[in-house]
């Protein structure tokens, strides 16, 4: 469905004036291996090739003056309508100028047989009315002066090289090449009503490259669209807010790394949580927490193939390497952080590659894994004996170590007895007992798990509840609140009156319009964390405050209606501007869970 961008007709975006586009100007394209961000002015400013966690081919979103990009932009002033095709991740942008209208249709292509063995970005330009002229710019970045791009003409085309990536710029006959140089390929095209031209990139890394006909690229745009629609039609969701749920499900599908089954937390690095601040992190890895939540969302939507692939990947990683906080998309340990000499989005530095979270200890991984396993068998699936043994070992570890301090859900540098970490330990052992009672896990240590589960509950009630605040605190000894405590309702933590009172306190102290900050004090450092607000909606619904939950959910949908449906991690509650990495899986899956709960679909 096409909508104007920006929504407010009085607002205009201008890259030349502002230097960068707002983050809500971007929509995501994907093929199950990589994700590209395409801007409202027709410029693709982020694309890692060949994989989501590869170095970027296009990185202008982090380096406005020197980064790589692939733009198709009208030569005259224009207005924009844009959106995804229904049930698809193929995206359309309609440009209107004083002399005509034209449609740009974009796809990271697949085929009827699945993901292509190369990366194929296809862009079709169609004239709708009058005549529209476009400038086409394919500019190669240097990744912070770490590489030197170059081109090599041969009998089969002009090949561009950027470090280990090689590719070709493909185009139809109506596209006029103006310049080919090591740093850029410049072209132009004009379309009148009924005209259709196609441009695209075929790329790979350290591998021979197929050179498809331009007609094949064009055909695969529509073939990819049909494959997305077939997948969407098989979603088992019949609840409320179906359009929003479908769009979020399609976005989550983009983050499912099909070569291994891993689920990336987001497709970008270093988009800031606060403009100009240092909270810029690399999210192109698979967190146990995010993967577990996405698996549960897929199960709730009836997409069992994706849920099974992701769950199998997760269990195997835990079996091989232990319960780390996060892994690479290939299942290895996440590399340590290094910094790239780029200016960052709107001057927000540093730009980081890698993440230090994998070296942290977090109790939350136990609850996430066991909740996922319990949901997996609850819908009729079964665990194999090796997975059952792995889970039993994890339950023993949780029972033995729950009294330790940890980094908490927010991966903080100061270890504490975080309330939500203890709730996660309670959750893990409660689910382990249920799995054992259901015949899915060995029962050898079942009684010990049950006793420790009860001890954790007693400890939480004695140490984490504040009579003065009438709320569960961030951790004992603190006066701060933590919005993630809302998840305790979904985790079936049995203290409904205290949870309701805690939600009231979170709304009062962490709420900002329809949004919520993560925990006390974050209003001075970052935007509101979008998943927290959806967690609050879901918790209210589960605790019997249905009307309040519905009103909150609809207010969130209205506030987030700024683009085609690609959401970030955070938003500025004062301006509505999107902040943080994108597309953010945690945001989209929290939306799905809240909508499903409001629709009375079983957890």
DSSP state of 23: G
- The sign one gets for the Cα dihedral 502, 504, 509, 513 is positive
- Whether residue 191 contacts residue 131, with contact meaning beta carbons closer than 8 Å, is answered with yes
CA dist 338 and 195 (Å) reads 47
CA nearest to 330, candidates 587, 33, 29, 114: 33
Tokens of 433: 């007992």
Q: Residue 115: pLDDT above 90?
A: no
Tens-place pLDDT, residues 54-74: 999 999 999 998 999 999 999
**Percent of the chain topping pLDDT 70:** 100
Q: Are 140 and 162 contacting, i.e. CB atoms less than 8 angstroms apart?
A: yes
Q: Kindly tell me if the per-residue pLDDT of 18 is higher than 90.
A: no
Buried b (16+ CB within 10 A) or exposed e, 181-217: eebbbebbbbbeeebebbbbbbbbbeeebeebebebb
Averaged over 421-435, what is the pLDDT?
A: 98
- Give 326's strand partners: 287
Instruction: Check whether 340 has a pLDDT greater than 90.
Output: yes
- Specify the pLDDT at position 84: 98
Quick one: which H or E segment has residue 262? strand 262-263
Q: What is the pLDDT of residue 12?
A: 77
What beta strand segments (E) does 425-539 contain? 465-466, 471-472, 511-512, 515-516, 528-529
Q: Looking at the predicted structure, is the pLDDT value of residue 421 above 90? A: yes
- Residue 9: pLDDT over 80: no
Domain 3-232: which CATH number of 1.25.10, 3.40.50, 2.70.98, 2.60.40: 2.70.98
Mean pLDDT (the chain, rounded): 96
> What is the H or E stretch that residue 546 is in?
helix 546-560
* Mean pLDDT confidence for 115-121: 94
pLDDT recorded at residue 148 = 96
Query: Which residues, listed in sequence order, are joined to residue 97 by a DSSP beta bridge?
Result: 100
* pLDDT for the residue numbered 257: 95
**Ramachandran region of residue 220, left (φ > 0), alpha (ψ -120 to 50) or beta?**
alpha
Alpha helices (H) in 464-513, listed in sequence order: 487-490, 496-510
Structure token digits, residue 283: 């999210």
Q: What is the arithmetic mean of pLDDT over 384-390?
A: 96
Tokens 């690479």 belong to which residue?
328
Least confident of 296-310, 401-415, 574-588: 296-310
**CA-only gyration radius of the chain, Å:** 24
> Is residue 108 scored above 90 in pLDDT?
yes
The DSSP secondary-structure symbol of 236 reads -
Please report the pLDDT score of residue 10 as a whole number: 72
- Name which of 551, 535, 555, 554 is nearest 597 in CA terms: 535
- Rounded Cα distance between 174 and 111, Å, is 25
Phi, psi of 300 (to 5 degrees): -70, -25
pLDDT in tens, 450-497: 999 999 999 999 999 999 999 999 999 999 999 999 999 999 999 999
Domain range list for the chain? 3-232, 234-598
Q: What is the DSSP letter of 534?
A: H
For residue 392, is pLDDT > 90?
yes
Reference 478, options 520, 518, 507; nearest CA is 520
pLDDT one-digit tens code per residue, 123-176: 999 999 999 999 999 999 999 889 999 999 888 788 999 999 999 999 999 999
Quick: pLDDT tens for 238-292: 999 999 999 999 999 999 999 999 999 999 999 999 999 999 999 999 999 999 9
Q: Which two tokens stand for residue 565?
A: 């449906």
Architecture of the CATH domain 234-598? Alpha/alpha barrel (1.50)
| Entry pTM | 0.97
Task: Identify the CA nearest to 560 among candidates 90, 569, 207.
Answer: 569
């Amino acid at each position: 469905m096409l909508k104007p961008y920006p929504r407010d007709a009085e607002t205009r975006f201008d890259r030349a004036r502002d230097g960068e586009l707002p983050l809500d100007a971007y929509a995501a394209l994907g093929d199950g291996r990589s994700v590209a961000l395409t801007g409202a002015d027709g410029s693709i400013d982020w694309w890692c090739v060949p994989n989501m966690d590869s170095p970027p081919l296009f990185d202008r979103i982090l380096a406005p003056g020197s980064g790589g990009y692939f733009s198709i932009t009208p030569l005259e002033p224009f207005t924009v309508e844009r959106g995804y095709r229904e049930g698809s991740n193929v995206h359309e942008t309609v440009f209107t100028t004083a002399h005509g209208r034209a449609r740009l249709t974009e796809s990271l292509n697949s085929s009827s047989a699945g993901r292509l063995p190369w990366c194929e970005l296809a862009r079709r330009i169609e004239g709708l009315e009058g005549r529209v002229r476009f400038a086409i710019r394919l500019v190669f970045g240097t990744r912070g002066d770490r590489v030197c791009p170059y081109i090599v003409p041969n009998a089969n085309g002009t090949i561009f090289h950027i470090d280990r990536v090689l590719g070709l710029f493909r185009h139809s006959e109506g596209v006029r090449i103006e310049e080919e140089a090591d740093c850029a390929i410049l072209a132009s095209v004009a379309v009148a009503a009924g005209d259709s031209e196609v441009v695209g990139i075929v790329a790979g890394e350290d591998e021979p490259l197929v050179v498809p006909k331009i007609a094949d690229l064009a055909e695969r745009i529509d073939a990819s669209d049909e494959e997305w629609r077939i997948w969407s039609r098989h979603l088992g969701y019949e609840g409320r807010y179906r359009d929003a749920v479908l769009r979020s499900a399609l976005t989550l599908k983009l983050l499912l790394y099909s070569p291994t089954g891993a689920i990336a937390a987001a497709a970008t690095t270093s988009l800031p949580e606060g403009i100009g601040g240092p909270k810029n992190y690399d999210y192109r890895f698979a967190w146990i927490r995010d993967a577990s939540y996405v698996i549960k969302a897929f199960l709730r939507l009836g997409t069992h193939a994706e849920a099974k692939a992701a769950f199998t990947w997760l269990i195997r990683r835990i079996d091989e390497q232990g319960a780390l906080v996060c892994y690479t998309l290939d299942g290895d340990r996440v590399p340590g952080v290094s910094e790239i000499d780029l200016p960052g989005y709107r001057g927000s530095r540093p730009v980081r590659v890698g993440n230090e979270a994998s070296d942290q200890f977090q109790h939350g991984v136990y609850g996430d894994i066991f909740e996922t396993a319990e949901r997996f068998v609850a819908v009729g699936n079964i665990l194999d004996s090796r997975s059952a043994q792995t889970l039993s070992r994890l339950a023993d570890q949780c029972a033995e170590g729950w009294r330790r301090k940890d980094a908490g859900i927010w991966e903080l540098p100061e270890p504490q007895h975080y309330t939500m970490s203890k709730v996660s330990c309670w959750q893990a052992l409660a689910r382990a007992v249920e799995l054992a009672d259901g015949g899915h896990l060995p029962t050898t240590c079942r009684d010990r798990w049950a006793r420790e589960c009860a001890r954790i509950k007693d400890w939480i009630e004695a140490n984490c509840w504040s009579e003065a605040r009438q709320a569960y605190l961030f951790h004992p000894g603190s006066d701060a609140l933590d919005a993630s405590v809302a998840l305790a309702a979904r985790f079936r933590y049995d203290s409904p009156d205290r949870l309701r009172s805690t939600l009231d306190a979170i709304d009062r102290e962490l709420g900002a319009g329809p949004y919520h900050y993560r925990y006390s004090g974050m209003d001075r450092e970052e935007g509101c964390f979008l998943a927290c607000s959806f967690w609050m909606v879901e918790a209210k619904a589960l605790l019997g405050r249905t009307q309040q939950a519905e009103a909150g959910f609809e207010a969130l949908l209205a506030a987030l209606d700024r683009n085609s449906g690609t959401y970030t991690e955070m938003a500025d509650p004062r301006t509505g501007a999107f902040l943080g990495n994108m597309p953010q899986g945690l945001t989209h899956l929290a939306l799905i869970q809240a909508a499903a709960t409001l629709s009375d679909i079983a957890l």
